[in-house]
Amino acid sequence: MQPQSVVTPFPQGSPATELPKPVEPQVTPIPIREKLKALTRINKEIIGWLHVDGARIDYPVVQHEDNDYYLHTDAGGKPSIYGSIFMDYRIDWTRPQRNIVIYGHNMIDGTMFGSLGNFKKEAFYKEHHSIQLDLADKETTWDVFAVYTIDATRDTVETSYENDQTFQRALKEYRQKSLYTTDVLPTVKDEILTLVTCSNETDDTRLVVHAVKKKEP
């Protein structure tokens, strides 16, 4: 008896055996202006959105007439121990600024600026050093260039500088105080972004992360 050949239902490689490739849904990005317009219907003091690469920081940014209100008020205007991510009241974000300063609580559960402390580790910085800040219709990207701690009872975070010379000295000082050296070298022609939160060393210690605005192509 001749051995019977095994016949598969569909020859290998035939169209019948090839599954159709899934079609990726087409998602149209919502312009930042429209996103923020929707958020301002909730709270007119929402002025932007902050995203930090590699960290659990992805929040709306608010600004009040002082730096106390949003310490214990959420972005929706309700009382909260978490507070909000808020911009220093002295910053006029509608115009170019030498230093945009933003604050947030260092929450023990890692929310708000609770993961900003990752930047103390140089290994983390090497993998994640980009920050995105969207204000009105502007989407801006920033590169971290200095990370250090200060004693809040003695040191202050500058929001303005008298002239180019004082700004240049400040930039040099920030890099000198940094926990590690980076290849990012800001100049007096640049704008910088500063994120500030409490640090775990003492009640008066603050963590400061400086980033410089990337040039638009």
Catalytic residues, which ones? 105, 198
Pairing state between β 99-103 and 192-198: parallel
Longest dimension (CA), the chain: 102
Extended beta strands in 13-75, E state: 46-52, 57-62
> Cα separation of 25 and 60, whole Å?
27
Place of tokens 């006029």: 92
> Cα separation of 208 and 197, whole Å?
7
Place of tokens 């800001």: 186
Q: Phi and psi at residue 76, in whole multiples of 5°?
A: -90, 0
